[in-house]
């Protein structure tokens, strides 16, 4: 399975460890899930913005026709 090495400062790593501990999960699983959640949120945001642009464009095109 492909892997990714990510560099963190000591403070950032401690924050991640504390958050993973609070979520009662391993650091690896916590970071994996956080990365995928961020990617999914971005994809969802882009799709939402595309819908808003399409709706605005449709209204403008209707007025210009």
Over residues 35-54, the pLDDT tens digits come to 999 999 999 999 999 999 99
For the chain, the domain total comes to 1
Domain range enclosing 57:
28-65
Does residue 19 have a pLDDT over 90? Answer: yes
Does residue 59 have a pLDDT over 90? Answer: no
Does residue 15 have a pLDDT over 90? Answer: yes
Q: 32 — phi, psi (to 5°)? A: -60, -50
Q: For residue 59, tell me if it sits in a domain.
A: yes
Q: For residue 1, tell me if it sits in a domain.
A: no
Q: For residue 9, tell me if it sits in a domain.
A: no
Q: For residue 19, tell me if it sits in a domain.
A: no
Q: For residue 2, tell me if it sits in a domain.
A: no
What mean pLDDT do residues 23-41 have? 98
Q: For residue 35, tell me if it sits in a domain.
A: yes
Q: For residue 54, tell me if it sits in a domain.
A: yes
Residue 30's contacts (CB-CB under 8 Å, 6 or more residues apart) are: 16, 19, 20, 23
Does residue 61 have a pLDDT over 90? Answer: no
């Amino acid at each position: 399975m492909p892997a990714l090495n990510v560099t963190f400062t000591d403070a950032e790593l401690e924050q991640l460890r504390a958050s993973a501990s609070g979520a009662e999960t391993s650091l690896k699983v916590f970071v994996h899930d956080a990365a995928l959640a961020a990617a999914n949120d971005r994809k969802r945001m882009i799709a939402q913005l595309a819908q808003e642009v399409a709706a605005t464009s449709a209204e403008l095109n209707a007025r210009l026709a």
